[in-house]
Amino acid sequence: MAFNDMRAYLDLIKESGQLKEIDEPLSCEYGKNDLQALMRYLAETDGPGLILNNLVGYNTPEIPVIYNPFGTRERTAMALGETDPLQAKLKHSAILADRSQWHEPVLIDAAKAPCKEEVIEEADISIDKQLPHLWIGQEGSSYVCGAVVVTKDPETGTRNVGWYRLTQLWECRHPTDGSYTERQQKQQLSIFAFWNPPMNHIGLHLAKAKAMGKPLEVAVAKLCDPAVHVAACTGTPFGIDEYAFAGGLRGSPVELVKCDTVDLEVPATAEYVIEGVFQPDADDVTIGWHSNSIGYYDKLQVFPVFDIKRITHRKNPMWYATIEMMPPFDHNYLALMPVEGEILSDLQRKIPEVNDVVVTPNMTYVVQLKVDGANKPHPEFGKFVLHAVWGAAGRWGRTAKIVVVVGPDINPYDLQAVEFAIGSRVQPYEDSIMNQSAQAMVLDPSAVKGPQGFPMTGSQLGIDATIKIPERFSDYAPVSQADPDAVAAIGERLKSVLG
Ligand X SMILES: Cc1cc2nc3c(=O)[nH]c(=O)nc-3n(C[C@H](O)[C@H](O)[C@H](O)COP(=O)(O)O)c2cc1C
168 scored as a contact of ligand X (CB under 6 A): no
Work out which of 18, 72, 93, 160 binds ligand X, going by CB under 6 A: 160
Cα–Cα distance measured from residue 218 to residue 151, given in angstroms and rounded to the nearest whole number: 5
Counting Cβ atoms within 10 Å, is residue 413 exposed (0-12), middle (13-18) or buried (19+)? middle
222 binds ligand X (CB under 6 A): no
CB nearer to ligand X: pick between 168 and 432: 168
Among 73, 152, 159, 201, binds ligand X (CB under 6 A): 201
CB of 91 to ligand X, least distance (A): 18
Site string for ligand X, 324-343 (x = CB under 6 A): -------x--xx--------
The interface region with ligand X, picked from 163-171, 212-220, 275-283, 445-453 by CB under 6 A, is: 163-171
Task: Assess 276 for contact with ligand X (CB under 6 A).
Answer: no
Is 75 a binder of ligand X (CB under 6 A)?
no
Task: Provide the strand spans (E) within 226-377.
Answer: 255-258, 265-267, 272-278, 285-287, 290-291, 297-298, 301-303, 305-313, 319-321, 354-359, 364-369
Nearer to ligand X, 298 or 353 (CB): 298
- Are 287 and 238 a contacting pair, CB within 8 Å? no
**Judged by CB under 6 A, does residue 135 bind ligand X?**
no
Of residues 167, 129, 127, the one with CA closest to residue 147: 167
For position 164 contacting ligand X by CB under 6 A, the verdict is: yes
User: Interface with ligand X by CB under 6 A: which range of 12-20, 156-164, 283-291, 478-486?
Assistant: 156-164
For residues 125 and 172, give the distance between their C-alpha atoms in angstroms, rounded to a whole number: 18
Q: Which stretch binds ligand X (CB under 6 A): 199-207, 268-276, 277-285, 485-493?
A: 199-207
Q: Choose, by CB under 6 A, the member of 81, 105, 132, 162 that binds ligand X.
A: 162
Phi-psi domain of 137 (left: phi exceeds 0; alpha: psi -120 through 50; beta: other)? left
Is the N-terminal amide bond of 197 cis, ω within 30° of 0? Answer: yes
Q: Binding of ligand X at residue 3 (CB under 6 A)?
A: no
CB of 416 to ligand X, least distance (A): 27
Before 470, cis peptide (omega within 30)?
yes
Does 172 bind ligand X (CB under 6 A)? Our answer is: no
The neighbour count for residue 177, using CB atoms within 10 Å, is: 6
Residue 145 binding ligand X, by CB under 6 A: yes
- Under the criterion CB under 6 A, does residue 412 sit at the interface with ligand X? no
Contact 52, 22 (CB under 8 A): yes
Give the number of other Cβ atoms within 10 Å of residue 7's Cβ: 17
Number of chain positions touching ligand X (CB under 6 A): 17
Reduced to 3 states, what is the DSSP secondary structure of residue 156?
Answer: coil
Q: Which stretch binds ligand X (CB under 6 A): 55-63, 200-208, 283-291, 455-463?
A: 200-208
Stretch that binds ligand X, among 43-51, 158-166, 208-216, 311-319 (CB under 6 A): 158-166
Which residues partner with 321 through β-bridges? Answer: 67
CA–CA gap between residue 322 and residue 229 (Å, rounded): 15
Q: Identify the three-state secondary structure at position 5.
A: coil
- Please give the residue whose beta carbon sits closest to ligand X in the complex: 192
Q: Does 190 bind ligand X (CB under 6 A)?
A: no
Binding window for ligand X (CB under 6 A); candidates: 21-29, 126-134, 227-235, 355-363: 227-235
Applying CB under 6 A, does 301 fall inside the site for ligand X? no
- Which of 234, 292, 312, 355 binds ligand X (CB under 6 A)? It is 234
Min dist. Cβ of residue 473 to ligand X (A) = 41
CA distances from 99 to 1, 87, 171, 250 (A): 18, 19, 45, 13
CA 6 vs CA 21, 67, 218, 353, 371: distances in Å: 17, 13, 22, 37, 40
Amino acid at site 310: R
- The interface region with ligand X, picked from 13-21, 52-60, 88-96, 198-206 by CB under 6 A, is 198-206
In the complex, the residues that contact ligand X under the rule CB under 6 A are: 145, 160, 162-165, 192, 194, 200-202, 233-235, 331, 334-335
